[in-house]
Amino acid sequence: MTNLWIVLLCLAAAGLLIGLLYRMQRKHVPFTKRVFAALGIGIGFGALLQFIFGVDHSVVKSVNDWLSIVGTGYVKLLQMVVIPLIFVSIISAIIHVQSKTGLGKMSATIIGILVGTTAIAAVIAISVSLFFGLSSLDIQAGDQEVARGEYLDTKVEEVKDLTLPQQVLEFLPVNPFLDMTGARRTSTIAVVIFAAFIGVAALGVARKKPEHGKMFMSIIDALHAVVMRMVTIVLRLTPYGVFALMTKVVSTTAPAEILKLGEFVVASYVALALMLLVHALLLAVSGISPIGYFKRSLSTLAFSFTSRSSAGAIPMNIETQVDRLGVPQSFANFSATFGASIGQNGCAGIYPAMLAIMIAPSAGINPLDLGFLAQLVAVVAISSFGVAGVGGGATFAALIVLSSMNLPVALAGLLISVEPLIDMGRTLVNVNGSMTAGVLSSRWLGQWDREKFNKGL
C-alpha cells in the first residue's frame, strides 16, 4: 500500500473520531466532558500513529499537516477574535466601572497579584532547580541544540540593550492600528493601553456631554455583544481543535528526546505543579473552594495545555470567569487580558528562573549566592511585563532575564527538543494564574458572586 493510501486511511480514522465528538455534541454531552474526551482521543490516536510509523515518518507528517486545518485553524480563529475582544472588552469594562477609583483599585489589584505570583513562581523554580541539581554542564549539545543556541544569540540583540525605562516605553502604542495586527512583541499590552485611554476618555465625555456618553456606551455594548457572539461560535469548535492539537503533540514527540532531558522535564512539572498549589492556597485562604474552582476551569485549562497560547485562551478565559467562577465582566476582561501579557507565572516566572540557575555554573556563578538569587527574583518579576502571550513568549522572557543577569543565552538552546512538552504546562499555569487573579481580585474588592460560582458547574 502506498503512503498516499495509508495517509487517506489515517485521515478517515481521524474523521470518524471527529464524527464521534460531533455525535457527543448532538447528544448534549457537557462541554467539559467533550473537551476531555477529545484530549484522551487525541492522545490515543497520536500514540497509535507514533507506534505504527515513528516520529519522523512521512505519513505522520502528512496526517498532522491535514489535521492542522482543524487544530491550528482553530487556534487561528481564536487569535482572530483576541484583539477585537481585548479592545472592546477593556473599553466596556472601564465605562461600566462606577468610578475611576474603582478602576484604579481593580487594575492595581489584578496587576499586583500577577506580578506577585510571578515572583513566587521564580522562588519555586529556584528551589526546585537547586533540589534537582540542574546544570547545563550536564547536557550534551547536538546539531539541533547548537543551531538553536545560535538563533537565540541573534535574537538577544533585540532585548539585551534595552534598559528598564526603554522596556516600559515599548508598551506604549505609537501606532495602535499597527499593534492591532500583533506586529510587536508588546502589541497586546499596547492595545490594552490604547483601549484604556479610550475608556477613560469616554468616562470624561459622559460627565460633560451625557447624551454623547450614552450613545458611545450603546455602541460599545452592541460591539461587545457581537464580539462575544463570535467568541461563542469559535468556542464550539474547542473539542475538535483539542483533538487535532493533541494528536500532533503526541505523535511528534520522541520518547528518546524526553528521556535525554527527563530530569529537566520532571523538575519543570514539579515546579509548575507547586505553582498551581500556590494558586489553590491563595483561593482557599480567601474563602474560595479550590476544588470547585478547578472543576469549573478544567475545559479552559485543557485548551491552554494543548494550544500553548495564553493569548488564544483569552476568550475561553473570560467566558469561564464570568459564567462559571462568579467574576464580574470587568474583572474578567482585565485579568484575562493582563494575564496574557503581564506576570505569566509559567513562561515569565518559572522558566527563565530555572534556566538562570541551570546556566549560572557555566558562567562561573555560584547558584547558591544569596545576592545572585535576590537579583534573579527581582529581575524575573520586573521583566514579566509585556511577555508575548503566544508560543515563544517564554523565549523572550528568558532572553530578557538571562541577558540582564549577564548569562549566556545560547545555552538555553539545549532544551529545544523538549520545549513544546514543557511549554504546554507553562501555558496552563499562565492561564490559571490570570483566572486566579480575576477571582481573587473580585473577592478581595467585594465584587465576587458566590452564588453564581456555586451554580457554575
Q: What is residue 270's predicted lDDT score, i.e. its pLDDT?
A: 94
pLDDT at 172 over 60: yes
| Lowest mean pLDDT across 134-143, 182-191, 416-425 | 134-143
Least confident of 14-23, 31-40, 248-257, 292-301: 248-257
Choosing among 1.10.3860.10, 3.40.50.1240, 2.60.40.420, 2.40.160.60, the CATH entry for 3-454 is 1.10.3860.10
Q: Is the pLDDT of residue 431 over 90?
A: yes
Name which residue leads in pLDDT, 375 or 439: 439
The percent of residues above 70 in pLDDT, for the chain, comes to: 85
Percent of the chain with pLDDT over 90: 27
- The pTM assigned to this predicted structure is 0.81
**What is the average per-residue pLDDT within 162-177?**
74
The band of 161, judged by pLDDT with boundaries at 50, 70 and 90, is low
pLDDT of residue 257: 62
Predicted confidence band at 149 (pLDDT cuts at 50, 70, 90)?
Answer: very low
Mean of the pLDDT values across residues 319-342? Answer: 88
Q: What pLDDT, on a 0 to 100 scale, did the predictor assign at position 271?
A: 94
Q: List pLDDT tens digits, range 20-77.
A: 999 999 998 888 788 889 989 998 999 999 888 888 888 889 999 999 999 889 888 8
Instruction: From 5, 4, 27, 8, select the one nearest 16 (Cα to Cα).
Output: 8
